[in-house]
């Protein structure tokens, strides 16, 4: 019987020839990802349940990427990183990227593919809801809690339900200055904040094929904002090229059957998509940017696993190289690799760092999750009052960036940059 890419990956990981949505199956895990805010609790569960001296099922399949609370004076945050250090040493885990060492990477969902740990056809669980990002390279990837992660540490397996698939086919060509973020915000707006609950979100069509891997990551990253279990894009030559540049591991991709049944297929003509925002306080509050030019802003923010990749900063620089910002504009590269590219990449002889400085942006922060999720009081870019923020991040919940009284509009890096220039929500097509 025909299966979707998600069903096929899960069937293979369960050692079955076929699965159907609703089946509860034990799957073998290829990568378990954790970080500084859920890692210590996961280790706690593992040691409570399997014993203080228990060994993880496979130290080479565990990736521990501290990224959330790194550049803070918070004592517990540092204790938590120490807990990770001790654990990786005891267990011989080599995929650990210590914030105090030159091996530090930054935001886990950008770092994991960077270090070559995301391969097509694999099963990846992470103690972070944005683990769904990794479907951009054809993996099944989803977020879990500490207890599930502690279970995986001990067994390398997890019991999961096979999701139904919702397919999103985006054909045609995206208009200039319309980005992946505009595609996914439109989809979430159409299907709702819980519109993909328990479902796989499969993205396909020429417009998806034309996107860079980083732009595909933006789309899969936000599957969770519609309640999706995973986001996934069939791997292609672009994906293989990205992966081969980062790992020599043998690749064993999985493709869906063309006649596989999906729960529903949504079709879009890319040419009809426009720069947009998600208004406070849910990511499904879609509005075209041109319909919200009356919204005055107090700050702009470019960063996070969704919007802090080099592609995102390149896009922002396209606009900011000709302008000055009129509101405080905070920049947080997702990873060290992105931060380095900001220095090395140039537009007309100026580095991106120089362009942002000339435009009057705030000093660029070191790579981490920073104010995407508020964090400790001393976090860079954290809101503290009733700020109106336009941001490339993924969530605009009440209090998400710190203060319960601040309001967040989500948008693409182009829309954020254009809005930073004018001080109100601005369609990037309406600025040079």
Partner 1 sequence: MNATDTQIIRGKVYVAGDNIDTDQIIPAQYLNLVPTIPEEYTKLGSYALCGLPDTCLPFIQPGAVTSEYTILVAGRNFGCGSSREHAPIALGAAGIKAIVAESYARIFFRNAVATGEFFPFETARRLCDTFQTGDEAILDLKAGTLTRAPSRETFALNPLGAVAPVVAAGGLFAYARQTGMIGKKG
Q: Residues in the site for partner 1, rule: CB under 8 A?
A: 24, 26, 37-38, 40-41, 44-45, 48-49, 51, 68-69, 74, 76-77, 80, 83, 126-129, 131, 143-148, 151, 154-155, 157, 159, 161, 193-194, 197-198, 224, 227, 229, 282, 373-377, 395, 397-400, 402, 404
Cα(278)–Cα(275) distance, integer angstroms? 11
Shortest spacing between CB 24 and partner 1, in angstroms: 6
Nearest to 313 by CA among 288, 343, 349: 343
State which residue, 258 or 385, has the beta carbon closest to partner 1: 385
State which residue, 234 or 365, has the beta carbon closest to partner 1: 365
Strands 388-391 and 407-411: parallel
End-to-end alpha-carbon separation of the chain, Å? Answer: 53
- E strand or H helix at 167, and its extent? strand 165-171
State which residue, 200 or 336, has the beta carbon closest to partner 1: 200
Nearest to 42 by CA among 155, 159, 148: 148
DSSP state, residue 373? G
Peptide bond into 400 cis (omega under 30): no
State which residue, 23 or 98, has the beta carbon closest to partner 1: 23
Which residues contact residue 270 at a Cβ distance below 8 angstroms, ignoring those fewer than 6 apart?
A: 170, 171, 172, 173, 174, 175, 178, 183, 205, 206, 207
> Widest CA span of the chain, in angstroms?
61
Which residue's entry shows tokens 């699965």? 19
State which residue, 185 or 208, has the beta carbon closest to partner 1: 185
State which residue, 22 or 92, has the beta carbon closest to partner 1: 22
Shortest spacing between CB 299 and partner 1, in angstroms: 18
Q: Contacts for 17-22 with beta carbons within 8 Å, 24 or more apart? A: 19/162, 20/162, 21/162, 21/163, 21/164, 21/165, 21/263, 22/161, 22/162, 22/164
Shortest spacing between CB 53 and partner 1, in angstroms: 10
State which residue, 356 or 380, has the beta carbon closest to partner 1: 380
State which residue, 38 or 243, has the beta carbon closest to partner 1: 38
Alpha-carbon distance values, 87 to 78, 124, 156, 179, 193 (Å): 14, 21, 17, 40, 37
- Asked if 71 and 365 count as a contact pair (C-beta separation under 8 A), the reply is yes
- E strand or H helix at 123, and its extent? strand 123-126
State which residue, 23 or 206, has the beta carbon closest to partner 1: 23
- Asked if 279 and 292 count as a contact pair (C-beta separation under 8 A), the reply is yes
Which residues contact residue 174 at a Cβ distance below 8 angstroms, ignoring those fewer than 6 apart?
A: 183, 207, 210, 270, 271, 273
State which residue, 112 or 417, has the beta carbon closest to partner 1: 112
């Amino acid at each position: 019987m025909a299966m979707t890419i998600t069903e096929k990956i899960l069937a293979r990981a369960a050692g079955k020839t076929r699965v159907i949505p609703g089946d509860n199956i034990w799957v073998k895990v290829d990568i378990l990802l954790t970080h500084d805010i859920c890692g210590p609790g996961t280790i706690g569960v593992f040691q409570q349940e399997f014993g203080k001296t228990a060994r993880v099922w496979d130290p080479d399949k565990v990736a521990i990427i501290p990224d959330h609370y790194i550049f803070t004076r918070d004592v517990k945050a540092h204790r938590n990183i120490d807990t990770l250090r001790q654990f990786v040493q005891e267990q011989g885990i080599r995929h650990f990227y210590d914030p105090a060492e030159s091996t530090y990477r930054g935001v886990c969902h950008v770092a994991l593919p960077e270090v070559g740990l995301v391969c097509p056809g694999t099963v990846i669980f992470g103690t972070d809801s944005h683990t769904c990002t990794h479907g951009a390279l054809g993996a099944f990837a989803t977020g879990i809690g500490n207890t599930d992660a502690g279970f995986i540490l001990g067994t390398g397996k997890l019991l999961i339900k096979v999701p139904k698939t919702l397919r999103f086919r985006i054909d045609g060509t995206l208009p200039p200055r319309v980005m992946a973020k505009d595609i996914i915000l439109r989809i979430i707006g159409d299907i709702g904040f819980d519109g993909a609950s328990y479902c796989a979100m499969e993205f396909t069509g020429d417009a998806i094929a034309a996107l860079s891997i980083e732009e595909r990551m933006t789309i899969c990253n936000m599957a969770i904002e519609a309640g999706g279990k995973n986001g996934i894009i069939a791997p292609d030559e672009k994906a293989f090229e990205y992966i081969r540049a980062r790992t020599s591991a043998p690749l064993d991709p999985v493709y869906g059957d063309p006649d596989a049944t999906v729960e529903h297929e949504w079709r879009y003509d890319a040419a009809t998509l426009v720069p947009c925002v998600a208004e406070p306080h849910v990511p499904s509050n879609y509005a075209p940017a041109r319909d919200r030019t009356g919204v005055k802003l107090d700050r702009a923010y470019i960063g996070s696993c969704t919007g802090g990749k080099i592609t995102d900063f390149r896009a922002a620089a396209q606009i900011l190289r000709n302008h000055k910002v009129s509101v405080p504009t905070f920049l947080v590269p997702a990873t060290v690799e992105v931060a380095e590219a900001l220095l090395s990449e140039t537009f007309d002889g100026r580095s991106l760092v120089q362009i942002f400085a000339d435009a009057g942006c705030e000093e660029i922060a070191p790579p981490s999750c920073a104010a995407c999720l508020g964090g400790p009081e001393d976090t860079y870019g954290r809101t503290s009052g009733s700020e109106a923020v336009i941001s490339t991040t993924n969530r605009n919940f009440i209090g998400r960036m710190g203060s319960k009284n601040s309001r967040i509009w989500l948008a693409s890096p182009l829309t954020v940059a254009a809005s930073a220039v004018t001080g109100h929500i601005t369609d990037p097509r309406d600025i040079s």
